[in-house]
Structure 1
């Protein structure tokens, strides 16, 4: 929580901007120094993700509506758990409901399912960002639990997926850290909008609204799809299809040598891209630098189509090492991405992604590669159609919004939100994928090295924090 004096200064600087575009331009321009969102980051994220206009007077109805929605959902979905009032008598006190009776309409069955869901979420929260004392707080973990529980109940066709907790954690930290405790008597007339947007009484409410807005675009990444096999090579899982498209279409377009090398090594792109994408790079970069990267991403592309190009930019920046490494060393590098150093900090991947989006060809790839290595890739020899790796037309241009979806109304101020049809798959894609890699590696004579690598990288728990 910030002091009024500190927030007042940041609010004054914020008011120097006259539009979302002017704020966005400054965020992208200052990636090498400090972000204009520092000190007022949660407000910037709200602006880019769900507030309709840059004008402060337009914020009040949206903030009020989104907060009222969460209050209502929380009371309805968490009330029975917190009060113990689960409708033991179904309108007739002479005929109490049997707690052991089966059936979806039995409130005791609903209670047991809710408790099971909360236990599943708690398991992840207990190991969320272990190096940050803030996330060890019982109050903070309860807030994250409630936000995730309400979201999962609201999206019961998907439920909880590993990785969601690592999206909600930075959001809660930002909202809580930016909150301002002040009396209205202390503030100036034009500061009332700041105080309303950063009200500490609504930290949990605003965290839910921001998380809901992020998941509006990120949800397909958590959907497993139907008929997926053990290592994600079949079926229609959106995240697997996205991973293939990034490798076979985008990377092939800008650096076919690297794309073919990874293909020859039989490095499945989903092995590392699932984590990169689902967690919005949260496991790849230090926490403070991740927040600045999110500033740029939210400002430039709240639909997150730019995420695909960020992945390509990350691969290009380490392409020379990847070309020299064997299978096990390549996986180690991709799953322990080297930390970018000043001045090329993680936020610069957003600028590189914007460039690649506009220059998706060999010259665009060569520019990014030489920019960070002062080495230019050799000309790519022409291949006959028979030599070229096949690219499925059905995967070309796949984005989050291209997966099969239906439209429903979002709880946030009546926004239209995407909802994915219910999946029959289990949330075991990455764990099964890792097991599949071990099985295949034995045929290559690499069984033991891969098993040791997996043990080192804790692949059996792909979304647990690495200590």
Structure 2
């Protein structure tokens, strides 16, 4: 135990030395974070902001950057959550008129925008209400509800605009992608959907609903795709649990921009027309299959003979950065390494390959049905074992936590 505490103190000291510098050494920070960011000291929120290029390496510019970004996010809330019937800048109500009414087909109509937005909200609302049901965090109230929303007597609370219907959908849905019909599998579900808090408060899932809605509005070419909730969730959890309240207060805005930056890197996974691009999902699955073949021919042959295509299991692994395969603390540990690795997509494939190779004996002994179930429901395992195996495949070593 004394040795473990000594190692922890040394790691915390190394992080402090980097993060206290006026010019952050990103190369050295990546090296440290690749081996896992300690849960102690509230380091992960700051490190992720740096690794996701939200904060610049020059500390003197942080204040200006944060103020500008957070003010920009406020304007997004004000401008993009369109509500027919609210007052305009002159205090007059914009309601049902001869020029603009619910049946108006003009694309510039506030009502048409409202109805189209609700189609997107239907799926977002469904997804965020069931995020990480094995923990209570997302059902709890934030200490910093958005005043621009809760001070409107609840009129602008997005969940109110959604009519609750039961949707049958695949685990990861992309417009025009038929492959999801093959990979729909049982996933962790809450016993029942999360309930909104009473007026004046907001649950964390309501904050995520707003982040995803605004992202969809600002990215109409892509919009919202089911599964994005699994990407934004761990980022927001990290920021909203920051022990420093001065950072925690702005978790929503900071999460939005970090999520946007991350989506800028992995958006190829979510766009069908880019499936064959270098970082498109089909290309990534091909690289994974090739790596399995190179490192364990017998396992590759077994899966190949069973026609157990990578689409049946690794589509979700790769697209959602393994966020549905492990408990949240393990996901955050995985993301420390992914965000820190300059070739993070290569390391993601190494992790997925390691997961397959670690199931070698079961896969060689199992039939098709058994192996599909095994890969779609990865068994509980020490995440350090998985990451150490992945690091070895990448020709690296991983320090013990």
Which TM-score applies when normalising by structure 1?
0.61
What is the Cα deviation at residue 253 of structure 1? Answer: 2.1
| From 96, 99, 102, the counterpart of 1:99 | 102
- Any residues of structure 2 matched to 1:389-428 within 5 Å, and which? none
Report the Cα distance in structure 2 between the residues aligned to 1:13 and 1:36, rounded to whole angstroms: 14
Matched, 1:210 2:227: no
Match of 1:191 in 2: none
- Structure 1, unmatched stretches of 5+, are 1-9, 182-194, 229-233, 360-366, 369-467
In 2 relative to 1, CA 337–11 (structure 1 residues): closer, same or farther, beyond 3 Å? closer
Report the Cα distance in structure 1 between the residues aligned to 2:40 and 2:340, rounded to whole angstroms: 10
* Structure 2 residue matching 1:329: 3-state secondary structure: helix
What is the Cα deviation at residue 237 of structure 1? Answer: 10
What is the Cα deviation at residue 269 of structure 1? Answer: 0.2
- Identify the structure with bigger relative contact order (alpha carbons < 8 Å, sequence gap 6+): 1
Confirm or deny: 8 A CA contact 2:269 2:319 kept in the other structure.
Answer: yes
Matched, 1:353 2:386: no
In 2 relative to 1, CA 35–302 (structure 1 residues): closer, same or farther, beyond 3 Å? farther
Matched, 1:146 2:147: no
Match of 1:287 in 2: 328
What is the Cα deviation at residue 110 of structure 1? Answer: 0.9
Report the Cα distance in structure 1 between the residues aligned to 2:63 and 2:120, rounded to whole angstroms: 34
- Any residues of structure 2 matched to 1:184-333 within 5 Å, and which? 195=246, 198=247, 200-225=248-273, 238-247=280-289, 249-301=290-342, 303-333=344-374
- Worse overlay, 291-300 or 40-49: 291-300
What is the Cα deviation at residue 273 of structure 1? Answer: 0.8
| From 211, 224, 238, the counterpart of 1:160 | 224
* Structure 2 residue matching 1:149: 3-state secondary structure: helix
Q: Deviations over 1:379-433 (max 9, x none)?
A: xxxxxxxxxxxxxxxxxxxxxxxxxxxxxxxxxxxxxxxxxxxxxxxxxxxxxxx
In 2 relative to 1, CA 149–94 (structure 1 residues): closer, same or farther, beyond 3 Å? closer
Confirm or deny: 8 A CA contact 1:297 1:350 kept in the other structure.
Answer: no
Match of 1:430 in 2: none
In 2 relative to 1, CA 72–132 (structure 1 residues): closer, same or farther, beyond 3 Å? same
In 2 relative to 1, CA 109–318 (structure 1 residues): closer, same or farther, beyond 3 Å? same
* Structure 1 residue matching 2:81: 3-state secondary structure: helix
Report the Cα distance in structure 1 between the residues aligned to 2:12 and 2:360, rounded to whole angstroms: 42
Confirm or deny: 8 A CA contact 2:231 2:321 kept in the other structure.
Answer: yes
Match of 1:376 in 2: none
In 2 relative to 1, CA 312–83 (structure 1 residues): closer, same or farther, beyond 3 Å? farther
Matched, 1:15 2:79: no
Report the Cα distance in structure 2 between the residues aligned to 1:45 and 1:28, rounded to whole angstroms: 12
Report the Cα distance in structure 1 between the residues aligned to 2:88 and 2:118, rounded to whole angstroms: 14
In 2 relative to 1, CA 51–111 (structure 1 residues): closer, same or farther, beyond 3 Å? closer
In 2 relative to 1, CA 224–154 (structure 1 residues): closer, same or farther, beyond 3 Å? same
RMSD: 3.5
Q: Deviations over 1:71-116 (max 9, x none)?
A: 22222112547947599x9x9x984323212242222111101122
In 2 relative to 1, CA 54–263 (structure 1 residues): closer, same or farther, beyond 3 Å? same
Confirm or deny: 8 A CA contact 1:296 1:347 kept in the other structure.
Answer: no
Confirm or deny: 8 A CA contact 1:67 1:206 kept in the other structure.
Answer: yes
Report the Cα distance in structure 1 between the residues aligned to 2:85 and 2:42, rounded to whole angstroms: 34
In 2 relative to 1, CA 81–357 (structure 1 residues): closer, same or farther, beyond 3 Å? farther
Q: Deviations over 1:293-344 (max 9, x none)?
A: 2112211237533212211111111122211111011011101112223xxx
Confirm or deny: 8 A CA contact 1:267 1:327 kept in the other structure.
Answer: yes
Q: Deviations over 1:346-381 (max 9, x none)?
A: 25544543442349xxxxxxx99xxxxxxxxxxxxx
**Count of equivalent residues:** 320
In 2 relative to 1, CA 262–241 (structure 1 residues): closer, same or farther, beyond 3 Å? same
- Structure 2, unmatched stretches of 5+, are 1-10, 141-195, 197-201
| From 61, 72, 77, the counterpart of 1:74 | 77
| From 36, 60, 78, the counterpart of 1:57 | 60
What is the Cα deviation at residue 11 of structure 1? Answer: 9.0
In 2 relative to 1, CA 61–235 (structure 1 residues): closer, same or farther, beyond 3 Å? closer
